[in-house]
Structure 1
């Protein structure tokens, strides 16, 4: 009986389905910030960085990364 009580105490309480996992907000903001920084670095380096070979497509890459973060905001609880 005592072992069953200890096992029951050790169980985590069920997670509230109306909240996000603890990693959700940092990942979401990370995508938004990285996308913004990608575009900022592209403009400040006159197209030499982050990936010179793809040229103006760097803007689309930056917006794509930021878009992933934006889409994640729709699921933020």
Structure 2
């Protein structure tokens, strides 16, 4: 609840202070809602080992991407 309120305040500030790319925001919101609904249902049936491997791999790929784009 607190995180949601913080995001709502940030949203209001950005609406009046910065340009907003609504097309990307709507796509992001749809993905968030689908992931928030389906994610817990899928994770209840997945093994812990697979979840660890997937999350670790995605974090490593993201770190590589950020390193490459920064340098």
Same fold (TM over 0.5): no
Name the structure with the higher helix share: 2
Q: Which has the larger radius of gyration?
A: 1
TM-score, normalization: structure 2?
0.30
TM-score under structure 1 length normalisation: 0.29
